[in-house]
Amino acid sequence: MTEQLSADDWINQGLKALAKNGFTALKADPLAKAMGVSRGSFYWHFADLGAFHAGILKRWREIAAEQIIADVEADRSGDPLRALLRRTFNAKLDLERAVRNWAAFEPAAQAAVRAIDRRRIDYIEGMLERRGLAPAAAQARAQILYWTFLGFALSGPSLPTARLDVLLDEILAMVSGRAG
């Protein structure tokens, strides 16, 4: 690489390495080698590996929660909950799995996962309340819906689009329906 790298370049490379090879790939030397630069470039942008890891986790939160929420809120063309389900269940989830695996070994990653879980559940709960569900029902269904997403995210290969569409319609009906 002939151009100077930014901290964002390092973080983007780190996200790719994390999704592909797991958290053990988040080290200056292998990342520098993959980018064709010296590891001095890494330390120009980050005080240490912990600072880099914090940057990775912050960016993950931005792309895995905040950007999705912003996109759903900006799209006024249909049902926001349906849009959220389609967006999240159709996403490539390698990074989600990698961060959750990292959280089993690293307290900072564990804290980031807890924070994003809370953010996502709170958002879904608010969506369900806006659909007319009582707060207690919205809270319970948001948790169930989130557990459904996590099970899907951690289960591996995605489903064919037609099959996934049928399942998402059924999930939406179950979560949105009135309790009997």
Sign of CA dihedral 171, 173, 175, 179: negative
In whole angstroms, how far apart are CA 85 and each of 96, 135, 175? 16, 20, 11
- The pTM of this model reads 0.90
What is the model's pLDDT at position 4?
83
**Distance, CA of 130 to CA of 136 (rounded, Å):** 13
Residue 2 lies inside a defined structural domain of this protein: no
One-letter amino acid identity for 129? Answer: E
- The model's pLDDT over 134-164, given as tens digits with 9 standing for 90+, comes to 999 999 999 999 999 999 998 877 788 899 8
Angle, in degrees to the nearest 10, between helices 107-130 and 80-89: 150
Q: Is residue 22 within 8 Å of residue 98, measured between CB atoms? A: yes
Q: Determine, yes or no, domain membership for 1.
A: no
Question: Domain range holding 171?
Answer: 7-176
Which string of DSSP letters, residue by residue, matches 56-107? HHHHHHIIIIIHHHHHHHH--SS-HHHHHHHHHHTS--HHHHHHHHHHTT-H
Which residues fall within 8 angstroms of residue 18, CB to CB, at 6 or more apart? 25, 26, 56, 95, 98, 99, 102
Domain harbouring 170, CATH code: 1.10.357.10
In a domain, 130, yes or no: yes
CA 130 to mean position of chain CA atoms = 24
Over the stretch 33-74, which tens digit does the pLDDT of each residue have?
A: 999 998 888 999 999 999 999 999 999 999 999 999 999 999
CA 118, CA 157: separation in Å to the nearest integer? 25
The reported pLDDT for the residue numbered 2 is: 40
Q: Do residues 7 and 31 make contact, with C-beta atoms less than 8 angstroms apart?
A: no
Domain count, the chain: 1
